[in-house]
Amino acid sequence: MSAHPLEAGLRDGLAALDLALTDAQVQTLLAYLDWVAKWNKVYNLTALRNPQDMLTHHLLDSLALVAPLRRHLAQAGLAAGARLLDVGSGAGLPGAVVAIACPEVDVSCVDTVAKKALFIQQVAAALRLPNLHGLHARVEHLTQTFDVVTSRAFASLADFTAWSRGSLADGGVWLAMKGKMPHDEVAALPPAVQVFHVEPLAVPGLAAERCLLWLRPGEH
């Protein structure tokens, strides 16, 4: 069986991110990318069409979140059994990628578009990911709570945190993936939301700026 055309690029990216994954996880990530490409033709999950671009802009971009997430979960005593919600997940970025890279984390991807939630459900079944769930709902209507609520280029920080506040467990944090540091969005946050950490992300093969903002409810 010949190697996947993107396997070398993925492995190089993982090495650059200093992320150790098993061969099985690498193959699952590649299979996930194939699923996105296949469904994209019909469902328009993402604007990107070129597989190499999808590897860099989607897969490696989402994988850049994994090491900081693992670090946070370990520090918070949540190394096993943590619950993560990915809001406006679309094709499962970064939620599905986190579910593959972190089998110990229970990941739910919520989207208001039914076909996107269905895609996540199909991927979870096909790739045997019992820790990945697709939810078709508005995040404001969810009743379950999560230790980490994340989003990637979903909405402004104020909207993201306001809409998903009810989904945040006690002691939970928001994790927002952004491009350039969004100073205006941070300035627009209410006092009830605090940014407590910002870290730059270096995505292999991507020249664009990326950063990760950690937020939590502030003192009322």
Could you read off the pLDDT of 18-29 as tens digits, one per residue? 999 999 999 999
Average pLDDT of the chain?
A: 91
The terminus-to-terminus CA distance of the chain in angstroms comes to: 59
pLDDT at position 118 over 90? yes
pLDDT of residue 48: 62
Q: In the numeric block, which tokens belong to residue 37?
A: 């490409």
- CA separation for the pair 3, 6 (Å, rounded): 8
pLDDT at position 218 over 90? no
Instruction: Return phi, psi of residue 153, to 5°.
Output: 50, 45
C-alpha distances (whole Å) from 8 to each of 5, 12, 28 are 7, 6, 14
The amino acid at residue 165 is: R
Q: Considering the entire predicted model, what is its pTM?
A: 0.94
The amino acid at residue 140 is: E
If pLDDT is split at 50, 70 and 90, which confidence band does 50 have?
confident
| List of domains in the chain | 7-217 (3.40.50.150)
pLDDT of residue 57: 84
